[in-house]
A and B are shown apart, each in its own frame.
Chain A
């Protein structure tokens, strides 16, 4: 605007910062004034990105802090007693690995209680409440997924082959050492026992319920069964009821691995 004038006005209009330095001094030629304006505009452009209102919007996002709530968290816990859609855990065998007719707490089955599945090994008596069958058919895809999840979550302690010699065990998590799957107690244990250990922890092992979804836990167990079978003498494998291919309820074909 100013640059159009051949001679600058005596009464200079205020034009922000650039004008300030000029007003008390003798007039500069219009061209130089234009140059100064352009330079100022250019510098202002550089600072135009300094406001970050759009970058940092005051909205709740995952893991962001929030000054609105007293605990400072954006992610809110569920109101007690609510069940999110799809989270009704009515299927006791699937979600808890416990027999549907067993008590809510782990306690021995009363004598005479019906045992719905095939006979189990001696150690199964140690875990009377735990289910002995997988809740869904075990296929190659299930085993592959199980292997992948096993390598992520279990192998760190139990080792890639299930000997209990994972890297974390070697680094000092050894009071006691992580269990080897290739011991008789665990060879005989029902699948529900592994589910229980993952869900609620067992001994020094913490609960993995927050890290591994329910379905993946079962798939991992299928893979653990495959690992066990791979390290088992053939004669014993044939005798082990909970692994025997084609056993009632156990739909995991043992020889997949």
Chain B
């Protein structure tokens, strides 16, 4: 009976052994990519809301400050979703007859709140407080991206723990001066040496804790 396999098949067998290592790493890499992808994190997925509310129009075109609606962002854990009454501040005259705004008027009349769809949904085991971030030099657009350019808001970042830690390990790369916190156009991160030096100054000024404290488990998982 002749040989089924030729001699050269040995090379194939050997290559397969090395290949196994490659396949293992590839599998790990694919897993990591899937975990980080928007499919898993929800990043860049536009959420349709009960009303076609455009941040691009209200912030970008009209120049309304973030804090006009998100009033508690500097004082509380939650930035605050405006009540229907705040919408009606302007919309009792502007677009007062528009069918787009019918749900707003209905909510105003009945007192039943609008049910907005949450876009940035942190897991419940992670503690997050807007006020401390905003008051210590983390700007809106650092986490939320260019909201003033989003007709429909999507999550601009992965909101994964590695993303949180990126800043908690080296806040000097991200902090900004007090008067730039609500500036949508401020650079996303301090990249040059000079900018990081400024960041280190700010870190001292804001009394930001050392990375050992900022990355301690109980800082966020409390």
Contact = CB atoms under 8 A, between A and B. Distances in A.
A239 to B, nearest CB: 35
A211 B82 CA distance: 9
A144 to B, nearest CB: 10
A219 to B, nearest CB: 14
A151 B124 contact: no
B40 to A, nearest CB: 8
Nearest to B112: A71
19 contacts: A54-B124, A55-B124, A56-B124, A57-B125, A61-B78, A151-B65, A153-B68, A156-B62, A156-B64, A156-B90, A167-B63, A168-B90, A171-B90, A172-B95, A204-B93, A206-B89, A210-B85, A210-B86, A211-B71
A37 B66 CA distance: 53
A63 B123 contact: no
Given A62-B77, A206-B85, A211-B86, A171 B68 contact: no
B27 interface: yes
Given A56-B123, A57-B125, 9 more contacts: A54-B125, A61-B78, A62-B77, A151-B65, A153-B68, A168-B90, A172-B93, A172-B94, A210-B86
Given A55-B123, A56-B124, A63-B81, A206 B88 contact: yes
Nearest to A152: B65
Closest 10 CB pairs of A and B: A62-B78, A55-B123, A57-B124, A152-B65, A172-B94, A173-B93, A206-B89, A152-B67, A211-B71, A167-B62
Interface in A64-93: 65, 73
Nearest to A204: B93
Q: Is the interface of A mostly helix, strand, loop or mixed?
A: loop
B219 interface: no
A136 interface: no
Given A54-B124, A55-B123, A152-B68, A73 B62 contact: no
A211 B81 CA distance: 12
Interface string B65-109: 101100100001110010101101110111100000000000000
Interface string A162-186: 0000011001111100000000000
A46 B124 contact: no
B113 interface: yes
Interface of B: 27, 31, 34, 62-65, 67-68, 71, 76-78, 81, 83, 85-86, 88-90, 92-95, 113, 115, 123-125
Given A206-B89, A211-B86, A173 B94 contact: yes
Q: Is the interface of B mostly helix, strand, loop or mixed?
A: loop
Contacts of A202: none
B94 A168 contact: yes
Interface in A112-168: 151-153, 156, 167-168
A112 to B, nearest CB: 41
B68 A211 contact: yes
A42 interface: yes
Contacts, number: 62
Nearest to A157: B90
A59 interface: yes
A21 B25 CA distance: 28
Contacts of B27: 42
B188 to A, nearest CB: 24
A102 B205 CA distance: 47
Interface string A18-56: 000000000000000000000000100010000000111
Contact of B124 (A42, A59, A171, A204): A59
Contacts of A172: 93-95
Contacts of A175: 93
Nearest to B69: A211
A79 B124 CA distance: 28
Contacts of A42: 27
Given A63-B81, A152-B68, A156-B62, A46 B123 contact: no
Contacts of A168: 62, 90, 94
B84 to A, nearest CB: 11
A153 B65 CA distance: 8
A112 B106 CA distance: 49
A140 to B, nearest CB: 16
A167 B61 CA distance: 9
B83 A210 contact: yes
